[in-house]
Amino acid sequence: MARRTAGTTGRLGSVRRAGAISGSDPRRHHSSRPYPAGLALVVANTLNAGADIGAIAAAINLLVPIPAFVVIAPSSMVVVAGL
C-alpha cells in the first residue's frame, strides 16, 4: 500500500509540477520556513527521550536499591543500542 501511495503522489507531483501532496510551489515559498519547526521537533524529542530514560532509571531504582543517577548512563546505552 505504501508503494502505491508513493507512486500516486509521485505522478501527481509530476503532472502538477508542484508539491505532490500539499500543492506548495517551492519557487514561491521561502526555503527557511521549516527550520524553526525542525528545531522545535528536535528539542521536543530530546526532552522526551530524557524523561523516558529518567523514568527507566526510577523504575529500576524501585526494584534494585541503586541511586537513579547511577542507572541513567547504562540504561541510556541499552536504549540506544536497541537491546
60/75 Cα distance (integer angstroms):
9
Query: What's the whole-model pTM score?
Result: 0.53
Could you tell me the pLDDT band of residue 11, with boundaries at 50, 70 and 90?
Answer: low
Distant-in-sequence, close-in-space partners of 59: CB < 8 Å, separation ≥ 6: none
Residue 2 has what DSSP assignment? H
Domain boundaries of the chain, sorted by first residue: 1-31, 34-83
User: Tell me, what amino acid is at 83?
Assistant: L
Mean pLDDT calculated for residue range 68-81? 84
Give the pLDDT confidence of 31-50 residue by residue, as tens digits: 666 788 889 999 999 899 88
